[in-house]
């Protein structure tokens, strides 16, 4: 089935708007923070590269979703998942007309085999939700975990407050919270 020229243009517009949205999301999350002003998109750390098997979007309900073998990267931050969905505060149709920093993303949701590498940490979960305004990352699933060096915490729900580094871990119905901390000096002994 051949797509009409107007549907091909709509797809291209949605793809560009989704990519712009991803760029702006990572610029507001602190990845590469302090390296350059947010409006300077010429720096390598400000470029985000997303690959997937498919892209769906709906400008009316304000979302774009990358599906299948998703990999999103910017600077030292890398997300891999089966799906990555972006929810916008404003319509995608207006995203192309706005300048850098003017597009606004409400949240990002990734699901299926989620692995996020950021801030010298590795987060793994069945599902991850990132709320941009509050900079809160919520990981869920029976094997949700965050690893930093040799140290690991795991539970069914992990809430990581990126603004101040707080972490809340919940064991859930089937499991308990588990933590492994390695140190050079004596701990409990």
DSSP secondary-structure letter at 133?
Answer: T
DSSP character string of 37-92: -TT-TTSGGG-EEEE-SEEEEETTTTEEEEEEEEEEEETTEEEEEEEEEEEESS-H
Domains with residue ranges and CATH for the chain: 5-180 (2.60.450.10)
The radius of gyration of the chain from alpha carbons, rounded to an integer in Å, stands at 18
Judged by DSSP in three states, 101 sits in coil
Of residues 52, 57, 64, 59, the one with CA closest to residue 25? 64
Residue 123, both tokens: 């987060």
Tens-level pLDDT at each residue, the chain (189 residues)? 455 554 444 444 444 444 444 433 333 343 333 333 344 445 556 566 789 999 999 988 888 899 999 998 878 889 999 999 988 887 545 545 444 444 577 888 999 999 999 989 999 999 999 998 999 999 999 989 999 999 999 999 999 999 999 999 999 877 799 999 887 776 555
Beta pairing class for 105-118 and 77-88: antiparallel
The Cα 120–Cα 113 span in angstroms is 19
């Amino acid at each position: 089935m051949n797509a009409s020229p107007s549907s091909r243009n709509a797809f291209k517009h949605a793809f560009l708007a989704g990519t712009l949205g991803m760029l702006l999301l990572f610029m507001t999350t602190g990845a590469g923070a302090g390296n350059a002003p947010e409006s300077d998109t010429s720096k390598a750390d400000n470029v985000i590269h997303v690959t997937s098997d498919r892209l769906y979007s709906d400008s009316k309900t304000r979302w774009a979703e990358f599906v299948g073998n998703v990999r999103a990267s910017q600077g030292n931050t890398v997300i891999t998942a089966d799906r990555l969905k972006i929810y916008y505060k404003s319509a995608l149709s207006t995203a192309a007309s706005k300048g850098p920093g003017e597009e606004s993303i409400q949240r990002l949701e990734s699901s299926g085999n989620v692995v996020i590498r950021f801030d010298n940490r590795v987060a793994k979960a069945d599902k991850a939700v990132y709320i941009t305004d509050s900079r809160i990352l919520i990981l869920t699933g029976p094997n949700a975990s965050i690893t930093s060096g040799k140290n690991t915490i795991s539970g069914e729900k992990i809430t990581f407050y990126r603004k101040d580094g707080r972490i809340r871990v919940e064991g859930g119905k089937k499991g308990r919270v588990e933590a492994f901390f390695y140190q050079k000096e004596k701990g409990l002994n």
